[in-house]
Structure 1
Amino acid sequence: MSPAVPARALAPYPLIVFVAFFAVALPLPVLSQHVHEGMGFSLFTAGWVIGLQSLGTILTRQWAGRMTDRSGSKRAVLLGLPLAGVSGLACFVSTLIADPVPALAVLVFGRLVMGPAESLVLTGAMTWAIARLGAARTGLVMTWQGIAIFAALGLGAPAGLFLMRSFGFAGVAAGMGVATLAGLAVVLPLRAVAPLARGVGASFLGVLGLIWRQGTVLCLSAAPQALLGAYVALHFASRGWEGAGLTLTGFGVGVILVRLLFSHMPDKVGGRRVALVSLAVEALGQGMLWLAPGPVLAVLGATLTGAGVSLVFPAMGVQVVRRVPAASRGLAIGSFSAFFDAALGLSGPLGGLIAVVAGYPAVFLAGGIACLAGVALLLSGGEEGDERPEARPGA
């Protein structure tokens, strides 16, 4: 198969993820403003409204994976996208309610619904693409799904700000609906693949026993990303440095550039080897942030952190897919992704505790230690999971 053929075959699935996460990203930069200034609630309440979607996502990852295995990837996506539309509709309806308390209740419902929508679309699109292109291209599939997510979040946030300034929060909600309709237009013409576990109940604990090491490595590698986003601006401010935003730009450049240049490496040389190198680079970046005497080195450290974290998800994802039977692939991917969600949820409060006790630089030292713990965990597992897909029946 020529390189152009897989590209054409792969393209619809990152596009599905892009439009879904564009809908996710649209309200993120304006929700706190809308809830606090527009509806009159506290910033604490606004923070909870923002975080509810992540809670909904974590709680539904396993369910979305099991449904994908039993009902098929296309059906999972065709349920997830309308749920995202329901989320946008609820956000829109909340703007029509004069009383702030019931308006907030409707908005909270919309935020919660977006959680299972995200789980279904991401798990469904990923397993669909792997089924169409073959398990040997798992790393490529996961790499491009990640690029689609980063692109959607990067473009959706400014688009949400524009819609908020131009049309208010109702315009943001309408934009969410338009994005989900665009996603349905991509999905409907695509050929479905047969469910892999028709009528079979996959064991969650059994799958977890096969992938816990890869999931834990993913969790440890994602912690520095969460810590960087939460505390780098405060770190810069405490030192009197300018340009904190450049660290996030550098991080994003590192992620995208490495994925564009080396997306084939997990499939070619094995996930474990790629993850070991990636974690070492990420640890170096965190060390530079910890010891940086000025903003230039800190930005370079953030860029290296992005370059390091870039391929850990697809690298560990390759191992996950190769370690589980094909009939449990959706459940495995959903469970594996939940480790990433857990890292984002736990790193913020733990980082805050570290910052209070030892200062902001120690936050990045902790991030580097997490990366090194990931390296130790991989080394303790030997070569497990690096076998080729054809070596494991049903993979």
Structure 2
Amino acid sequence: MTELDKPVIAAPASNPVTALVPLIAIVFFGFLAIGIPLPVIPVEVHDVLGFSPVTAGWAVGIQSLATVLTRQAAGRICDMSGPRTAVLAGLPLASLAGVFYLVAAAFADPLVHLAFLFVGRLVLGVAESLFLTGAMAWGIVRVGPAHTGKVMAWQGIAIYAAVGIGAPLGIEAMVRWQFAGAALSTVLLPLAGVLVALALPRPALLHHSAERVPFYRVVGLIWRHGLAMSLATAPFAALAAFVALYYASRGWTGAGYPVMGFGAGYIVMRLFFAGLPDRMGGARVAAMSLPLECVGQLVLFAAPGSFVAFLGAVLTGVGFSLVFPAMGVEAVRRVPAHSRGLAVGGFVAFFDVALGLTGPAAGLLASGFGYRAIFLGGALCSALALAMACAFALPARQKA
């Protein structure tokens, strides 16, 4: 190994947020390629190609199923080869997914179109697994494990800023240039993240020589907190996948704005309260946040018009915002430091499971009971997550 190839072992940064800015940019560019086509794909599959809401849900969810199956490999790559390797493998794959979208757009036959679209979704799932796990593990190395909550909070800001900005852009691109317009952006945007990653010094490996914890043991340590986070994620997944069809079914305009409103509420909470999980404990923060998400889903369910629905989406974002870092802090603390990349990958896999299963499940609800029923289901998921968070917080209060 040459001097240029050696990892840079830097002391934890005195200003964690400043040190995280390049990694926030990497995640932002990567997730723009996910956020822009997210509301477009169900419309393309259901309205343009003529398939059922369940198929539209699978078109969204299959990406995350591919992601969850590759989180273990992504975590291993981070621990053994370094998070930079994972990032630089994942972002070009995200561009390749856009190429498959463009190929899909070239075929008029619905089945061929859908087949290439599904291949693109699978490739994007692998890409997200690599670049997101890598960016999170890289952030923990860069700022130190004491700031794990900040890493997850700010990476989450990048994710939902990209989704919130990308959703209306994707709908506008589809209106102007059809599906190919949204597809082209997924080819180009991840390449900007590649440039940022190449400009950063190679991070150090954490305890490379230490004995590795098997993945099943990591999952055994974190599954309860991962399940709570999955339940809290389901409302967002349903909102992102079906809000455009929900608005169309009610005759409302502005279908891109609820996802933007969700992202705005989410980001504002992260900007002002990102440090709460590290200071107060993740379980307590989640127990305070989840009632707001539940109420937001009920507002969406009962909304008489598009503006009230938009407010429900904002409230959902406010309530969900801190749940991911809150549960993430609790989960990562349960795993040895030398397997932190695997722990991050395992925890985020629960997020992927939620995204993967919510799409088809919400499609079934919509087919049987209408699109409003999706948000009633989201409120139930939030309530179950709240019950789990309260159970986690109780032992901590007893120890205090």
For residues 67 and 182 of structure 1, the distance between their equivalents in structure 2, rounded to whole angstroms, comes to 22
Match of 2:127 among 104, 111, 117: 117
| Preserved contact between residue 19 and residue 183 of structure 1 (Cα < 8 Å) | yes
| Preserved contact between residue 70 and residue 197 of structure 1 (Cα < 8 Å) | no
Correspondence for 2:279 = 268
- Are residues 348 and 112 of structure 1, via their aligned partners in 2, closer, same or farther at CA, if it must alter by over 3 Å? closer
Q: How far is the alpha carbon of 1:219 from its aligned partner?
A: 1.2
| Preserved contact between residue 281 and residue 326 of structure 2 (Cα < 8 Å) | yes
Q: How far is the alpha carbon of 1:259 from its aligned partner?
A: 1.4
CA deviation profile, 1:181-220 (whole Å, cap 9, x unmatched)? 2111100121222333647543122111111111111012
For residues 15 and 292 of structure 1, the distance between their equivalents in structure 2, rounded to whole angstroms, comes to 35
Identity, % of aligned positions: 52
Correspondence for 2:345 = 334
Match of 2:379 among 346, 349, 368: 368
Given the alignment of the two structures, is residue 81 of structure 1 paired with residue 91 of structure 2, yes or no? Answer: yes
Correspondence for 2:227 = 216
Q: How far is the alpha carbon of 1:169 from its aligned partner?
A: 5.5
- Are residues 231 and 276 of structure 1, via their aligned partners in 2, closer, same or farther at CA, if it must alter by over 3 Å? same
CA deviation profile, 1:322-356 (whole Å, cap 9, x unmatched)? 11111221221122112222223333444455567
Match of 2:358 among 323, 347, 350: 347
Match of 1:188, SS state, is helix
Amino acid at match of 2:98: G
Amino acid at match of 1:310: S
Amino acid at match of 2:263: G
For residues 343 and 377 of structure 1, the distance between their equivalents in structure 2, rounded to whole angstroms, comes to 16
| Preserved contact between residue 171 and residue 256 of structure 2 (Cα < 8 Å) | no
| Preserved contact between residue 319 and residue 385 of structure 1 (Cα < 8 Å) | no
| Preserved contact between residue 218 and residue 340 of structure 1 (Cα < 8 Å) | yes
Spell out the pairing of 1:55-134 with structure 2 (5 A cutoff): 55-92=65-102, 107-134=117-144
Match of 2:262 among 243, 251, 262: 251
Match of 2:67, SS state, is helix
Correspondence for 2:4 = none
Could you tell me the TM-score, scaled by structure 1's length? 0.81
Runs of at least 5 residues in structure 1 that lack an aligned partner in the other structure? 387-395
| Preserved contact between residue 164 and residue 262 of structure 2 (Cα < 8 Å) | no
For residues 332 and 263 of structure 2, the distance between their equivalents in structure 1, rounded to whole angstroms, comes to 26
Match of 1:22 among 27, 32, 52: 32
- Are residues 374 and 171 of structure 1, via their aligned partners in 2, closer, same or farther at CA, if it must alter by over 3 Å? closer
For residues 157 and 33 of structure 2, the distance between their equivalents in structure 1, rounded to whole angstroms, comes to 16
- Are residues 48 and 344 of structure 1, via their aligned partners in 2, closer, same or farther at CA, if it must alter by over 3 Å? closer
Match of 1:43, SS state, is coil
CA deviation profile, 1:357-378 (whole Å, cap 9, x unmatched)? 7776665444333333223223
Amino acid at match of 2:186: M
Correspondence for 1:389 = none
| Preserved contact between residue 66 and residue 202 of structure 1 (Cα < 8 Å) | no
Spell out the pairing of 1:137-286 with structure 2 (5 A cutoff): 137-160=147-170, 172-196=182-206, 198=208, 200-229=211-240, 247-286=258-297
- Are residues 385 and 18 of structure 1, via their aligned partners in 2, closer, same or farther at CA, if it must alter by over 3 Å? farther
| Preserved contact between residue 320 and residue 385 of structure 1 (Cα < 8 Å) | no
Match of 1:43 among 23, 33, 51: 51
Q: How far is the alpha carbon of 1:305 from its aligned partner?
A: 2.1
Match of 1:317 among 316, 328, 331: 328
| Preserved contact between residue 38 and residue 240 of structure 2 (Cα < 8 Å) | no
Relative contact order higher in (CA < 8 Å, ≥ 6 apart) = 2
| Preserved contact between residue 39 and residue 241 of structure 2 (Cα < 8 Å) | no
For residues 60 and 354 of structure 2, the distance between their equivalents in structure 1, rounded to whole angstroms, comes to 17
- Are residues 315 and 289 of structure 1, via their aligned partners in 2, closer, same or farther at CA, if it must alter by over 3 Å? same
Runs of at least 5 residues in structure 2 that lack an aligned partner in the other structure? 1-10
Q: How far is the alpha carbon of 1:101 from its aligned partner?
A: 6.9
Amino acid at match of 1:207: V
For residues 90 and 50 of structure 2, the distance between their equivalents in structure 1, rounded to whole angstroms, comes to 31
| Preserved contact between residue 291 and residue 319 of structure 2 (Cα < 8 Å) | yes
Correspondence for 1:10 = 20
For residues 73 and 300 of structure 2, the distance between their equivalents in structure 1, rounded to whole angstroms, comes to 38
Deviates more, 1:47-56 or 1:227-236: 227-236
Q: How far is the alpha carbon of 1:103 from its aligned partner?
A: 6.9
For residues 319 and 339 of structure 1, the distance between their equivalents in structure 2, rounded to whole angstroms, comes to 14
- Are residues 349 and 161 of structure 1, via their aligned partners in 2, closer, same or farther at CA, if it must alter by over 3 Å? closer
For residues 341 and 353 of structure 2, the distance between their equivalents in structure 1, rounded to whole angstroms, comes to 19
Deviates more, 1:297-306 or 1:115-124: 297-306
